[in-house]
A and B are shown apart, each in its own frame.
Chain A
Amino acid sequence: MIPILNHLPIASVFDEVPLGWFLTLSLLMFTLGAVGVVVRRNPVVVFMCIELMLNAVNLTFLSFAAYPTQMVALSNPGEAAITGQMVVIFVMAIAAAEVAVGLGIIMAIFRLRNEADVDDMNTMRG
């Protein structure tokens, strides 16, 4: 692979889809996840809604990475694109850890109380 080609933009076959469409999909997913966190009572489903919100944020990062802004593109063309993808990779890793710990907590609560309803979990209320 020739290194000098790395920072030459190539004409994309996908250059008709506006940036706003990707962002609209992401925003719809985020608001749906937020509504789900408020509405649902089962803690496992609440966790799924949080995952939905995290994925919406990942989609936003990747959209803005694929459409670089003028300012960043002037300073260093490859920098903005690769930074967006790096953030997505770290968000994925942290989301995996979060799911493991959260499901462990849900298991512990179930073992303690034999039923889990997020409205009834007020033991630590001050």
Chain B
Amino acid sequence: MTLNQIAFIVLSCLALFGAVGVVFFNTPVRSAMALVVNFFTLGLVYFMLGSELIGITQIMVYAGAIMVLFLFVIMILKSTNDTDKPQLGERRFLFSLLGAGIVFGMIYRYVIMPTMGRTDIQFTRTYGTPQEIGKTLFTQYAWPFEIVSMLLLVGIVGSIMLAKRKF
């Protein structure tokens, strides 16, 4: 067990704690806090994978901006169902757990187990740097970039319209 494997195990335990907390905590605020933990540690896992810019973007956009949006909505809405506890004995819970188990088993057996032996992570000297990402984003992916900017504009206008309208 090398140092990198220990670091990965610690990070993934933290991320899984966050993921379990999102699903099983009672109040929405606690779920949001668990989601912050998950996003932050996931950003660190992205650093382990060598993509620095995406790790920083993950921490800024997800753990920062999107979670602030979630917390504002939780704060504005008087969350009436604070006791929205997942009913563990419920039929829906059992069936979802069964389905998730089947999906997990199949993907684990046929996709992940063949990749367990691959430790040959390799990236070029500029992998994941802002220079490389920006160069590719503004040359090869310029058209999708423009479309995404239009989508964001439409999303902003649409969400303001939805939230402001008086019914």
Residues of A within 8 A of B (CB): 1, 5-10, 12-25, 27-29, 31-36, 38-42, 44-45, 47-49, 51-52, 55, 58-59, 62-63, 65-68, 77-78, 81-82, 85-86, 88-90, 92-101, 103-108, 110-112, 115-117
Contacts and interface: CB of A to CB of B under 8 A. Distances in A.
Contacts of A8: 124-125
Contacts of B104: 27-28, 31
Contacts of B92: 38-39
Interface residues of B, number: 96
Q: Is the interface of B mostly helix, strand, loop or mixed?
A: helix
Interface of B: 2, 4-5, 8, 12, 15-16, 19-20, 22-23, 28, 31-32, 35, 38-39, 42, 45-46, 48-51, 53-54, 57-58, 61-62, 65-66, 69-70, 73-74, 76-77, 79-81, 84, 86-87, 90, 92-93, 95-97, 99-101, 103-104, 107-108, 111-113, 115-128, 131-133, 136-137, 140-141, 144, 148, 151-152, 154-156, 158-163, 165, 167
B51 A90 contact: no
B23 A90 contact: no
B76 A100 contact: no
